[in-house]
């Protein structure tokens, strides 16, 4: 087997590693695979993975955040055209987020756990993902480019949805609770629709 020496990852190598992690994690979450398996499939050394990611959980969270970025970019682009009212546009974004999270419940729960535990190495990716989520929701509220009021509403919606997603991942809440919580927040903030 040809193994890539322990040099910095290229974007292509990082993409290959992320894809492998997501394939191995499908239906299993963080269970049933390890860094050695990923390294073998990616043709890199296990030491390189450890050097760059530190742990399997960090490797997993990095792959999930990268996938989340792709989903959020699509939602941000489509958010203004998602319906006639702010409420319908926001709910379209929330439903897409929820479906992405719960489509593979084991993967989704492990992803939420990994993201909420976070490590220093994940802070930039977590921050970027949070900003993208905020933008998708703000554009949905505004029906276009958001101003300060739409940013404020989007911040509340983001917090409510994320709290409900954490509750779902820990077994305290249901999938339906994620949308219901957002609907109640929209009603409380008098967002029409």
Predicted structure pTM score:
0.83
State both tokens at 80: 């203004």
Give pLDDT tens digits for 55-113.
888 888 888 888 888 888 888 888 777 788 999 999 999 999 999 989 989 888 888 88
pLDDT band at 10; cut points 50, 70, 90: confident
pLDDT-based confidence at 170, cuts 50/70/90? very high
The residues pairing with 44 across neighbouring beta strands, listed in sequence order, are: 4
Alpha-carbon span 74 to 139, nearest angstrom: 12
Which superfamily, per CATH, for 11-188?
Tetracycline Repressor, domain 2 (1.10.357.10)
Q: Identify the pLDDT of residue 73.
A: 86
Taking Cα atoms as reference points, which of 32, 73, 30, 26 lies closest to residue 53? 30
What does the block give as tokens for 72?
């959020």
Tell me the three state secondary structure of residue 119: coil
Joined tokens for residue 146: 């958001």
pLDDT at 60: 85
Of residues 2 and 151, more confidently modeled: 151
Ramachandran area for residue 167 (φ above 0: left; ψ -120 to 50: alpha; else beta): alpha
C-alpha distances (whole Å) from 15 to each of 19, 83, 124, 167 are 6, 34, 17, 30
Q: For residue 139, give the nearest of 150, 123, 131, 148 by alpha carbon.
A: 150
Would you say residue 6 has pLDDT above 70? no
Q: Specify whether the CB–CB gap between 145 and 135 falls below 8 A.
A: no
Share of the chain above pLDDT 70, in %: 94
Residue 94 near residue 161 (C-beta atoms within 8 A): yes
d(CA 122, CA 128): 10
The pLDDT value recorded for residue 156 is 97
Per residue in 104-147, pLDDT (tens digit) is 898 888 888 877 876 677 788 888 889 999 999 999 999 999 99
What percent of the chain has a predicted confidence (pLDDT) above 90?
41
Query: What tokens does 112 get?
Result: 């939420």
pLDDT score of 5 more than 50: no
Q: For residue 108, which of 165, 53, 69, 57 has the smallest C-alpha distance?
A: 165
CA 167 to chain CA mean position, Å: 16
């Amino acid at each position: 087997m040809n193994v890539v020496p322990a040099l910095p990852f290229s974007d292509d190598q990082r993409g290959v590693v992320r894809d492998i992690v997501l394939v191995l994690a499908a239906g299993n979450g963080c269970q049933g695979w390890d860094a050695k398996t990923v390294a073998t499939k990616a043709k890199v050394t296990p030491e390189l993975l450890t050097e760059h990611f530190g742990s399997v959980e960090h490797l997993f969270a990095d792959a999930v955040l990268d996938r989340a970025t792709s989903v959020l970019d699509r939602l941000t682009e489509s958010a203004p055209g998602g319906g006639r009212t702010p409420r319908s546009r926001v709910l379209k974004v929330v439903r897409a987020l929820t479906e992405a999270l719960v489509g593979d419940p084991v993967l989704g729960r492990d992803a939420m756990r990994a993201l909420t535990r976070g490590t220093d190495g994940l802070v930039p990716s977590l921050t970027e993902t949070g900003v993208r989520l905020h933008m998708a929701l703000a554009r949905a509220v505004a029906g276009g480019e958001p101003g300060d009021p739409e940013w404020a509403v989007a911040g509340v919606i983001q917090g409510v949805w994320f709290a409900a997603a954490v509750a779902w991942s820990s077994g305290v809440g249901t999938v339906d609770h994620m949308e219901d919580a957002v609907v109640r927040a929209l009603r409380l903030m008098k967002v029409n629709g």
